Structure 1
Amino acid sequence: MISWRKHYKKGLIAIGLLLSTSASIYGQDGDPKNGEKLFKANCTACHALDKQVVGPALKGVVARLEKDQGLGKDWLYKWIKDNKALRASGDKYANEVFEKFNKTEMQQFPNLTEKDIDDILAYTTNPPAPEEPKKDAGTATATDGAQAAPANNTTSNIVIISLLAIAGLLVWILLKLRQLVKLGQSEDLAGLNETRVKSFSEIYAKYHYVGKGLLAVLAILATYGVWNWIMWIGVYKGYKPEQPIYFSHKIHAGENKIDCQLCHSSAKYGKVSEIPSMNVCMNCHRTISEYNGKYLEPGKDKAFYDGEIQKIYAATGWDSEKQQYTGKTTPVEWTRIHNMPDFVYFNHAQHVVAGEQAIINSFNKKNPDNKIDVVCKACHGKIDTMNVVQMANDFTMGWCIECHRTTEIDMNNGYNKEYFKNLHEKLKKQYPKDGGKITVDAIGGLECGKCHY
């Protein structure tokens, strides 16, 4: 009996050692959660877990390498830290991988420690389950639908009762009208009919002063209405057209914190803020072929976003399976939202560079409960909260003038300090309001030629 127990304990120890060795071999001696962070920070530009991107799919790479090539994690340490040196050493498999993937040289990561690499490999071996996407406010769930069903029934009953009440009222009115018709045909009203005014001319002759007054009021209201209509031609505040490819600024600029100028690169140093080319989209979506974000807009699911990414591929002629361009492109006909008239000159660079901090400070001073952090939002609204971009302001001449009259200039910044060097004292005397504070109108912000030329 003692001998059996002794061998049983040895067997358990052996199994435990085997399992621990196995776990070590297949990358389980790292931290998958930390590995996920490192993987997303360093690897996702070229790799995905479950499919080939620029490089091969990495899920189960440790076990696959051990099984197919008989190589362990020591080889992966060398490959990840300095694959160029590994290839230069004549390593057969390193050179085979290089040739297989079109001689695309992998980035070197000498900054990653062996512990970091262990964490990444643990993530590729056993990735944590993805979190459920969060739904925006207003997104209905199945439970919400079940709870809303009784409320819907109640609403339907109220509508039916209201319609029956209206029908009853209409029947009552018809009956009363019938009684009035009969009364009109009776002899009792014969005397009254004789005293009635027979024509409009008689009414006008009797009440012509009142009539002229009403006509004058109507003429004034009509003139005001026409003038107001003319003044608002071309003002499209709230305009938000559908685009051929759905693009959510809330996901890109809000959830993912992508800087505006990464896509709109000419907004800071150019006259206009250009519409990004599809190649700008492909800088990221060359390796992001599906939506795995945590945010879902109401009424939309992952399949919807994946379909829009496929539209990008169709427009640029990108074959995600072969990881190459086909050469067959399709222009995208975007619908323009913000469009200055031809007779108006507006320079983005002048506002974004010279006026950036002044505009932000002025806006936040006027809107303490709705502050902004980037100058773009002063005119375009909080784009990072918009799923569909819309015109947030009037963009009328009056709107621009009001901004020029209230935006205080920072006379101490490098540009203004040098350019207005000899005008500081003169301007302070000429514009003594608010303790000598100088607004844009003081330096020509209201001159017609500044915007109309």
Structure 2
Amino acid sequence: MISWRKHYKQTLIAIGLLLSTSASIYGQDGDPKNGEKLFKANCTACHALDKQVIGPPLKGVVERVKTEGGVDKDWLHKWIKDNKALRASGDKYANEIFEKFNKTEMLQFPNLTDKDIDDILAFTTNPPAVEEVKKDTGTATAADGAQAAPASNTTTSVVIISLLAIAALLVWILIKLRQLVKLGQSEDLAGLNETRVKSFSEIYEKYHYVGKGLLTILAILATYGIWNWIMWIGVYKGYKPEQPIYFSHKIHAGEQKIDCQLCHSSAKYGKVSEIPSMNVCMNCHRTISEYGANDYMEPGKDKAFYDGEIQKIYAATGWDPAKQQYTGKTQPVEWTRIHNMPDFVYFNHSQHVVAGEQAIINSFNKKNPTNKIDVVCKACHGKIDTMNVVQMANDFTMGWCIECHRTTEVDMNNGYNKEYFKNLHDKLKKQYPKDGGKITVDAIGGLECGKCHY
């Protein structure tokens, strides 16, 4: 009986030690996979694992603070939850870090639990292995070279055979010409030479009706060709030039869902939708120094290409990513303009984006039920959120604009139109009874020359 009790107690002690050890290990190490999610959600705005961004690199931070400051994970918990309070308490190491990083105030995270912080620290200690990105621009393998060699030999053979065939054809033509010359020198052609027409005037005199008809047709075709060529001067639908810094609207506006007006803010409040300054790019790319979303890559481009384009942004703005500060040495970016109205054309972006927004969207979706849009910008610029390289999506001719004004119904219920055209409603309804009171842009002066031309 005593022996049974003794073993029972030992078993309970062993189980207790096992549970406490497991709990301490879990609490100490945490869950790196969950820590990765928390790290991306809370830390990546200011930190990276392997390099300094706004704050220091966080890979191995637990061991580093232990070596540098002689502090443990409990100190890191206090620092992450409320570093300001920790510094205010007089903690020497906390204040040293604050001074070292230019007194940059770190955000406080009181919402993170102890387990959340343990998971993040576990991720910084043992981050999951990341698969190496395959580069499209790698060198060819030996097998590729072996396959390429026969293809090259075949091409050479085809070229040689073609040249020989052309040479044989030329020899045959020379022989035939020689025979014709001898034939011309014989007496058999003497009679034919006497009846042969000697000049163009004789041909014209003989067939002048046919000649006049052909000349008339040629003149009409030439006039039409010249007129058609003149009418399409300045129409560059499909134009998509290469820019000095690669910028994918598909990644930014499409995959990342960034609002057009975050970068092109004056489209809503001004006449011109300006090209955003590089400082707008730096609002995000100060902390995003490399490309990470491999699924969004354009075919033929690899991670190294995208990382290099981000470095061009840094060079243009004079940003030193290592020191996390501006050098003052900037470089202008010579963007190639795509959409450019002639000087004699007046077009106001804000008028269309604000007053005409819903009307334009409704009109476009009515005419294109299988290709609907959700943003007014797409009515003119196409589905920009699907374009890696921006191109001119429409003609932007006078006829194209007039057609839009004739078919786009004015939203008389929005605040601006309801007040401005209050006294015109009855008059316009009498003028357009066939449409059941529907008023299009041309009814309120949309076709007047002075609306678009100075």
Tell me if both proteins adopt one fold, taking TM over 0.5 as the criterion: yes
Task: State the distance in 2 between where 1:8 and 1:168 align.
Answer: 106
Task: State the distance in 2 between where 1:13 and 1:232 align.
Answer: 91
- The Cα offsets for residues 83-120 of structure 1, whole Å up to 9 and x where unpaired, read as 11221122222111111111000112223333332332
Number of the residue aligned with 1:300: 301
Task: State the distance in 2 between where 1:352 and 1:419 align.
Answer: 18
The answer to whether the Cα contact below 8 Å between 2:27 and 2:115 also exists between their aligned partners in 1 is no
Per the alignment, do residues 260 and 244 of structure 1 end up closer, same or farther by CA in structure 2, a change over 3 Å counting? same
Stretch deviating more after TM superposition (315-324 or 251-260): 251-260
Task: State the distance in 2 between where 1:142 and 1:423 align.
Answer: 79
Per the alignment, do residues 190 and 144 of structure 1 end up closer, same or farther by CA in structure 2, a change over 3 Å counting? same
Number of the residue aligned with 2:361: 360
The answer to whether the Cα contact below 8 Å between 1:363 and 1:371 also exists between their aligned partners in 2 is yes
Offset of residue 280 of structure 1: 0.9
- The Cα offsets for residues 239-272 of structure 1, whole Å up to 9 and x where unpaired, read as 2222222222222222322221111111111111
Task: State the distance in 2 between where 1:2 and 1:188 align.
Answer: 143
Offset of residue 81 of structure 1: 2.0
Number of the residue aligned with 2:17: 17
Which blocks of at least 5 consecutive residues in structure 1 are unaligned?
A: none
The answer to whether the Cα contact below 8 Å between 1:290 and 1:305 also exists between their aligned partners in 2 is yes
Task: State the distance in 2 between where 1:134 and 1:415 align.
Answer: 55
- The Cα offsets for residues 352-373 of structure 1, whole Å up to 9 and x where unpaired, read as 1111122122222222332222
The answer to whether the Cα contact below 8 Å between 1:25 and 1:62 also exists between their aligned partners in 2 is no
Offset of residue 277 of structure 1: 0.8
- The Cα offsets for residues 111-145 of structure 1, whole Å up to 9 and x where unpaired, read as 33333323322322222333566999999999999
- The Cα offsets for residues 414-449 of structure 1, whole Å up to 9 and x where unpaired, read as 332333233333323322344332221122111111
The answer to whether the Cα contact below 8 Å between 1:249 and 1:386 also exists between their aligned partners in 2 is yes
Per the alignment, do residues 333 and 69 of structure 1 end up closer, same or farther by CA in structure 2, a change over 3 Å counting? same
Per the alignment, do residues 377 and 22 of structure 1 end up closer, same or farther by CA in structure 2, a change over 3 Å counting? same
Per the alignment, do residues 442 and 104 of structure 1 end up closer, same or farther by CA in structure 2, a change over 3 Å counting? same
Offset of residue 315 of structure 1: 1.5
Which blocks of at least 5 consecutive residues in structure 2 are unaligned?
A: none
The answer to whether the Cα contact below 8 Å between 1:27 and 1:122 also exists between their aligned partners in 2 is no
Q: Secondary structure at the match of 2:235?
A: coil
Per the alignment, do residues 113 and 329 of structure 1 end up closer, same or farther by CA in structure 2, a change over 3 Å counting? same
Q: State the superposition RMSD in angstroms.
A: 4.6
Number of the residue aligned with 2:351: 350
Stretch deviating more after TM superposition (90-99 or 124-133): 124-133
Task: State the distance in 2 between where 1:345 and 1:379 align.
Answer: 16
Per the alignment, do residues 266 and 204 of structure 1 end up closer, same or farther by CA in structure 2, a change over 3 Å counting? same
Per the alignment, do residues 215 and 152 of structure 1 end up closer, same or farther by CA in structure 2, a change over 3 Å counting? same
Stretch deviating more after TM superposition (245-254 or 131-140): 131-140
Offset of residue 329 of structure 1: 1.5
Stretch deviating more after TM superposition (138-147 or 191-200): 138-147
- The Cα offsets for residues 318-374 of structure 1, whole Å up to 9 and x where unpaired, read as 111111111122222222111111111111111111111221222222223322221
Offset of residue 50 of structure 1: 0.4
- The Cα offsets for residues 261-289 of structure 1, whole Å up to 9 and x where unpaired, read as 11111111111111111111111121122
Offset of residue 397 of structure 1: 0.8
Offset of residue 402 of structure 1: 0.8
- The Cα offsets for residues 280-310 of structure 1, whole Å up to 9 and x where unpaired, read as 1111121122222213223322222222222
Per the alignment, do residues 311 and 357 of structure 1 end up closer, same or farther by CA in structure 2, a change over 3 Å counting? same
| 1:340 to 2:341 alignment | yes
The answer to whether the Cα contact below 8 Å between 2:137 and 2:302 also exists between their aligned partners in 1 is no
- The Cα offsets for residues 147-167 of structure 1, whole Å up to 9 and x where unpaired, read as 999888878777776666666
Offset of residue 204 of structure 1: 1.1
- The Cα offsets for residues 365-399 of structure 1, whole Å up to 9 and x where unpaired, read as 22233222211111112222222222111111111
- The Cα offsets for residues 32-57 of structure 1, whole Å up to 9 and x where unpaired, read as 33333332222112111100111010
- The Cα offsets for residues 173-224 of structure 1, whole Å up to 9 and x where unpaired, read as 4444444333333322221111110011111111112222222222222222
Q: What TM-score do the two structures reach when normalised by structure 2?
A: 0.86
The answer to whether the Cα contact below 8 Å between 1:138 and 1:298 also exists between their aligned partners in 2 is no
Aligned-pair identity in percent equals 91
Stretch deviating more after TM superposition (163-172 or 257-266): 163-172
The answer to whether the Cα contact below 8 Å between 1:62 and 1:73 also exists between their aligned partners in 2 is yes
Per the alignment, do residues 126 and 414 of structure 1 end up closer, same or farther by CA in structure 2, a change over 3 Å counting? farther
Stretch deviating more after TM superposition (182-191 or 397-406): 182-191
The answer to whether the Cα contact below 8 Å between 1:133 and 1:296 also exists between their aligned partners in 2 is no
Per the alignment, do residues 313 and 220 of structure 1 end up closer, same or farther by CA in structure 2, a change over 3 Å counting? same
Task: State the distance in 2 between where 1:18 and 1:187 align.
Answer: 123
The answer to whether the Cα contact below 8 Å between 1:27 and 1:121 also exists between their aligned partners in 2 is no
The answer to whether the Cα contact below 8 Å between 2:136 and 2:302 also exists between their aligned partners in 1 is no
Per the alignment, do residues 156 and 400 of structure 1 end up closer, same or farther by CA in structure 2, a change over 3 Å counting? farther
Offset of residue 168 of structure 1: 5.2
State the number of aligned residues. 453
Task: State the distance in 2 between where 1:137 and 1:250 align.
Answer: 22
Task: State the distance in 2 between where 1:452 and 1:116 align.
Answer: 63
The answer to whether the Cα contact below 8 Å between 2:240 and 2:392 also exists between their aligned partners in 1 is yes
Per the alignment, do residues 204 and 188 of structure 1 end up closer, same or farther by CA in structure 2, a change over 3 Å counting? same
Q: Secondary structure at the match of 2:267?
A: coil
Q: What TM-score do the two structures reach when normalised by structure 1?
A: 0.86
Per the alignment, do residues 357 and 32 of structure 1 end up closer, same or farther by CA in structure 2, a change over 3 Å counting? farther
